[in-house]
Amino acid sequence: MAARLESLRHVDVARVAFSFSQTRKAVSHGRYASLTPLRFAGGASETVRRGRRWRMPQVRDGDGREMLYILTFYLPRFLNMPLEAKLETIVHELWHISPRFDGDIRRFGGRCYAHTGRQRRYDAQASALARTWLSLGPPEPLYEFLRHDFQELVRRHGRVFGQRYRLPKLLPVD
């Protein structure tokens, strides 16, 4: 997606840790995915909160490369959505990534800086981007697995597995 959509070309997927978390209940409502930035506003590695300086610990992949974001999918909930909803969710989370790709999120003006003033508008933009991506004719093998729900993937492949990244806790500097 990042390579095909102009709005997401700034995303270096090699520095995004893709993770999963198991949902406690097999219900359709709740979170489907979340993006965790691994830096503070403007890409800063430290910040001051309530008069105290904090830093974000680094997250590295198996090759030692520093990750700037963790994109977590909540299973089986995410996989049990229709294909279009899965694609919209992926775009929604990737679009949160700052255009500077500095470990911070894309920030909009106002109080609701993560989703513009209205999440509905943000979601509509993510939906349009997902439809655009599909209209560009990406190779089917890139997303074929998303056509299936969790149980079907287990039936076909025996299991669904992936990397889990723990969300880092802020560390006090002083």
Judged by average pLDDT, the poorest of 26-30, 50-54, 66-70 is: 26-30
DSSP assigned state of 91: H
pLDDT (average), residues 6-35:
90
Residue 12: pLDDT band (50, 70, 90) is very high
* Alpha-helical segments (H) within the chain: 83-95, 119-135, 140-143, 150-157
pLDDT for res 113: 54
Secondary structure of 122-156 as H, E, C letters: HHHHHHHHHHHHHHCCCCHHHHHHHHCCHHHHHHH
Contact 115, 108 (CB under 8 A): yes
Judged by average pLDDT, the poorest of 61-65, 71-75, 114-118 is: 114-118
Q: What is the pTM of this model?
A: 0.89
pLDDT score of 28 more than 80? no
Q: Which residues contact 62 (CB under 8 A, 6 or more apart)?
A: none
User: pLDDT higher for 122 or 43?
Assistant: 43
Average pLDDT value for the chain:
91
**pLDDT (tens digit per residue) in 119-134:** 788 889 999 999 999 9
pLDDT for res 112: 55
pLDDT for res 24: 74
pLDDT for res 117: 57
Domain borders along the chain are: 6-172
DSSP assigned state of 56: P
